[in-house]
């Protein structure tokens, strides 16, 4: 079996994320990790919170808490919500960890040794009242384009126009509100990634199997105009990883921290170190995943992310790794996603528009959300969440198809044969045809999952569920029982084995329902059906089962209308 390293884009610490964030990285990554584990592969699935930069400081200020305390609390909140959605991370780390401090400083030192870092003098806005330089997002004012009075120094959220702090009318500090601002000179470190264009182009050229969305964004940044520029990797902030050259001080960089987009991707590696430490393991345990001189040459590394993160993961992070001159593992495949929009508009974390992850779990179990989001994943284009479509998909796919099949089969068997797999009867042409159909569909499901085609995988799985329902409707054991009980017994024996098989196949999408199906069938055998015919005979005659509770309650029109009204406004 292969070894698979999987990472999903690490979410910012500043608040609870919406469903668009979930389906853009973490959820499909979990789907793939669960599938690979089910096939017997060794998997290390990592994620973390992105805790540095302006958003963290501003969110902490708004919450009235020290930034380190705020980040620690929000990491706990996000970790708990991840568990609520059954995200099966092997470790959910923190970019503020000691491991990430050490690795970020190490990479900076290596890049400097390779001549890829230079000092640049810049003019930036300085707040006299706050006694500090202000990053662009720390400056607010009136947008010169649309007149919005809370535009930031980098962009106006109202009209989306890109801005410089000096463009703002009546600029003020977002920290104190002070207008006593000056333009002063400061020094920063830049990663000279423009000089790595040829090396990065050659690397991207090798990725012939990547999604078009990923490679098109990477090539646009590589080859168009202002794309691949030297990039500042330090900031005048209080919260972050102190600028050092390895474990040595960096003269002239006192009081500065590394820019969040330099240290955040390095957390993918550091997170493995956190995982090893949490399990009492040594450095060898994580290095075998990340260093090609320590065993990582046989690792398949896959990243999942929204399209806005692609430039940093196809260019800046690889530039850091390649530029270090050390044998670090580079990503093998990047699965990128478009945006999920919300009911005629857009999700927005900053404006609280749409359904957020904690709210979603408050109103429905995770399987409802997992199924809809994955079956509507924004792969080839943006997709849109509407309450009508959500209700329809859940009711048809989960309640009418999967849930109904399990309920009908188990209840009928209990009423006619008792709570054990029937012994009588042999399979006829209808059963043989079903086995062939299921076999073909399982192989198609596997191909889609291997290719990380999320929506197609969902469609293939639903097709497997539908095949069982169509068989049940066609052979009608409740009618056959009246004249040929042995034949009906054989039909139900196959159907009960199909329930177990559904539990195995459905686990990556709806893990709670899958576990309930296996529990109802009173089996811990969740082995993958390499031989579907054999898998449909695992539950032998006489094997006991129980009738499970209703797996999926239908969403009523009244519920849908209530939720639609509740989430139509701005979250406070």
Question: Rounded to the nearest 5°, which phi and psi values hold at 190?
Answer: -120, 140
Q: Is 349 annotated as a binding residue?
A: yes
Q: Is 271 annotated as a binding residue?
A: no
Question: Rounded to the nearest 5°, which phi and psi values hold at 299?
Answer: -90, 140
Are the beta carbons of 6 and 33 closer than 8 angstroms? yes
CB atoms within 10 A of CB 325: 12
- Per-residue b/e over 247-281, b at no fewer than 16 CB within 10 Å? eeebeebeebbbbbbbbbbbbbbbbbbbbbbeeee
Measured CA to CA in angstroms, residue 180 lies from 125, 237, 360, 407 at distances of 10, 19, 44, 69
Measured CA to CA in angstroms, residue 306 lies from 55, 117, 313, 508 at distances of 19, 28, 11, 20
Q: Which helix (H) or strand (E) holds 99?
A: helix 98-113
CA angle 560, 359, 462 (to 5 degrees): 60
Are the beta carbons of 334 and 309 closer than 8 angstroms? no
Q: In this structure, is the dihedral angle defined by the CA atoms of residues 361, 362, 365 and 368, taken in order, positive or negative? A: negative
Q: C-alpha 111: how far from its chain's center?
A: 30
- Of the candidates 349, 472, 361, the one whose C-alpha atom is nearest the C-alpha of residue 406 is 472
- Dihedral angle at the C-alpha atoms of 435, 437, 443, 447, nearest 10 degrees? -160
Tell me how long the chain is.
572
Q: 3-class DSSP state for residue 69?
A: helix
Question: Rounded to the nearest 5°, which phi and psi values hold at 12?
Answer: -60, 150
Q: Is 71 annotated as a binding residue?
A: no
Measured CA to CA in angstroms, residue 389 lies from 339, 380, 397, 557 at distances of 17, 19, 12, 12
Q: What pairs with residue 424 in β-bridges?
A: none
**Rg of the Cα trace of the chain?**
27
Q: 3-class DSSP state for residue 388?
A: helix
- Of the candidates 376, 378, 413, the one whose C-alpha atom is nearest the C-alpha of residue 397 is 376
Are the beta carbons of 405 and 469 closer than 8 angstroms? yes
**Residues in binding site for Zn(2+):** 143, 146, 156, 159
**Residues in binding site for ATP:** 349
**Residues in binding site:** 143, 146, 156, 159, 349
């Amino acid at each position: 079996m292969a070894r698979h390293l999987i990472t999903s884009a690490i979410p910012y610490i500043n608040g609870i994320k919406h469903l668009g964030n979930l389906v853009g990285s973490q959820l499909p990554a979990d789907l793939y990790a669960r599938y690979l584990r089910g096939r017997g592969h060794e998997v290390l699935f990592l994620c973390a919170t992105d805790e540095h930069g302006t958003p963290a400081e501003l969110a902490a200020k708004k919450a009235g808490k020290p930034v380190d305390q705020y980040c620690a609390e929000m990491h706990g909140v996000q970790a708990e919500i991840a568990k609520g959605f059954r995200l099966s991370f092997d470790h959910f780390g923190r970019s503020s960890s000691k491991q990430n401090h050490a690795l970020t400083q190490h990479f900076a030192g290596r890049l400097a040794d390779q001549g890829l870092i230079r000092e640049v003098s810049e003019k930036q806005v300085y707040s006299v009242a706050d006694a500090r330089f202000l990053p662009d997002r720390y400056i607010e004012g009136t947008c010169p384009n649309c007149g919005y009075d809370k535009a930031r120094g980098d962009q106006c959220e109202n009209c989306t126009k890109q801005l410089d702090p000096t463009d703002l009318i009546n600029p003020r500090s977002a920290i104190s509100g002070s207008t006593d601002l000056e333009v002063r000179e400061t020094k920063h470190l830049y990663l000279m990634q423009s000089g790595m264009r040829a090396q990065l182009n050659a690397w991207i050229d090798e990725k012939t199997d990547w999604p078009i969305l990923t490679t098109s964004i990477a090539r646009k940044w590589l080859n168009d105009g202002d794309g691949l520029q030297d990039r500042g990797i330090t900031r005048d902030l209080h919260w972050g990883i102190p600028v050092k050259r390895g474990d040595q001080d960096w003269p002239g960089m006192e009081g500065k921290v590394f820019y969040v987009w330099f240290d955040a991707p390095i957390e993918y590696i550091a997170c493995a170190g956190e995982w090893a430490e949490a399990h009492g393991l040594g450095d060898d345990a994580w290095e075998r995943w990340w260093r090609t001189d320590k065993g990582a040459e046989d690792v398949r590394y896959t990243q999942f992310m929204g399209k806005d993160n692609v430039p940093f993961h196809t260019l800046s992070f690889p530039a850091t790794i390649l530029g270090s001159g050390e044998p670090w593992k580079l990503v093998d495949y990047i699965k990128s996603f478009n945006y999920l929009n919300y009911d005629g508009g857009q999700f927005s974390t900053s404006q609280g528009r749409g359904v957020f992850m904690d709210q979603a779990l408050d109103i429905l179990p995770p399987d409802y959300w997992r199924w809809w989001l994955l079956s509507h994943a924004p792969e080839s284009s943006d997709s849109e969440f509407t309450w009508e479509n959500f209700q329809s998909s859940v009711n048809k796919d989960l309640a009418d198809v999967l849930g109904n099949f399990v309920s009908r089969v188990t209840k009928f068997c209990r009423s006619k044969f008792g709570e054990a797999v029937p012994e009588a009867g042999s399979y006829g042409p209808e059963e043989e045809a079903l086995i062939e159909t299921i076999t073909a569909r399982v192989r198609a499901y596997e191909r889609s999952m291997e290719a990380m085609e999320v929506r197609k995988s969902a469609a293939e799985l639903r097709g497997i569920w539908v095949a069982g329902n169509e068989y049940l409707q066609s052979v009608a054991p409740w009618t056959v029982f009246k004249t040929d009980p042995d034949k009906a017994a054989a039909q139900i024996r196959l159907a009960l084995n199909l329930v177990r098989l559904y539990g195995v196949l459905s686990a990556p999408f709806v893990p709670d329902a899958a576990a309930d199906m296996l529990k109802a069938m009173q089996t811990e055998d969740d082995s993958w059906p390499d031989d579907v015919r054999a898998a449909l005979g695992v539950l032998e005659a006489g094997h006991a089962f129980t009738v499970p509770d209703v797996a999926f309650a239908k969403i009523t029109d009244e519920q849908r209308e209530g939720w639609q009204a509740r989430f139509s406004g701005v979250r406070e």
